[in-house]
Amino acid sequence: LPVKISAFVPGFLSDGNGPTHQAIEDVSLMRGIPGMTVFAPADEADMLAMLPAIWASPSPAYLRVNTRPGTYQHAPYEMGKAEIVSEGTDITILTYGMLFEQALIAKDLLTEAGYSVGLVNLRSLKPLDTEAVLHVVRGGSLVVTLEDHFQTGGLYSILAELLLENELTAKVLPLALKERWYKPGLLSEVLEYEGFTGQHIARRIGERLGDGVHSFGAKTKVVENEFAE
């Protein structure tokens, strides 16, 4: 049945809520359902662009609702295709949903530090744009999977499955929640405490690359979630 599920305040957007209301295993659960499709827009504009295609699809769909305003001018939406923001030879960040906002900041900070940085807004986890992801992997850069989800079952697991299926290896840095719920608070507090601000992301990537020189900028103000509790 072409049932459409709209998941309200998923991931870190559930900011002030405790473990019972933190949807950070949802991608893992939903992608395991036969025939289900899984979408995660970067912001409100990205979501509005993909909605007509989701509603018109004969497949059931799970949508991580994201009404946050964004300043990035997205490319036109195409079902099953990722949005390639930039290509890089040193680092490529694969992400989805509300952390795209922080990934843009991290990309700019890393670029200022002299790195060649790619950024991909996946838009959907199922179907996955395997062509775009495999292109990144074959480019030889450090691949960063960035998500407001448990590490197990989410994007990191999706990438690992794809690598095995194609008999490929890659340098991968997973940035996700590891076997624990996040500490509730305002969105800015959650991102700061859990290490998912643009600055934290850039620093964690820099550490993986052995960069002990750059501080990757000062703290940037995060716009609070309009549904903060």
Do residues 124 and 80 touch, judged by C-beta distance below 8 A?
yes
**Domain count along the chain:** 1
**Contacts of residue 70, Cβ cutoff 8 Å, sequence gap at least 6:** 42, 43, 44, 45, 46, 100, 101
Please, which residues bridge with residue 61 across strands?
Answer: 4, 37
Tell me whether residue 214 is in a domain.
Answer: no
Could you list the pLDDT tens digit for every one of the 229 residues in the chain? 899 999 999 999 999 988 889 999 999 999 999 999 999 999 999 999 999 999 999 999 999 999 999 999 999 999 999 999 999 999 999 999 999 999 999 999 999 999 999 999 999 999 999 999 999 999 988 999 999 999 999 999 999 999 999 999 999 999 999 989 999 999 999 999 999 999 999 999 999 998 766 666 665 667 676 665 5
Instruction: State both tokens at 174.
Output: 């997973």
Tell me whether residue 94 is in a domain.
Answer: yes
> What is the domain-level CATH number for residue 108?
3.40.50.920
pTM over 0.85: yes
Long-range contacts of 180-185 (CB under 8 A, 24+ apart): 181/18, 181/19, 181/22, 181/24, 182/12, 182/22, 182/24, 184/15, 184/16, 184/17, 184/18, 185/15, 185/16
Tell me whether residue 217 is in a domain.
Answer: no
Residue 130, domain extent: 4-208
Tell me whether residue 52 is in a domain.
Answer: yes
Tell me whether residue 216 is in a domain.
Answer: no
Tell me whether residue 221 is in a domain.
Answer: no
Tell me whether residue 20 is in a domain.
Answer: yes
Tell me whether residue 202 is in a domain.
Answer: yes
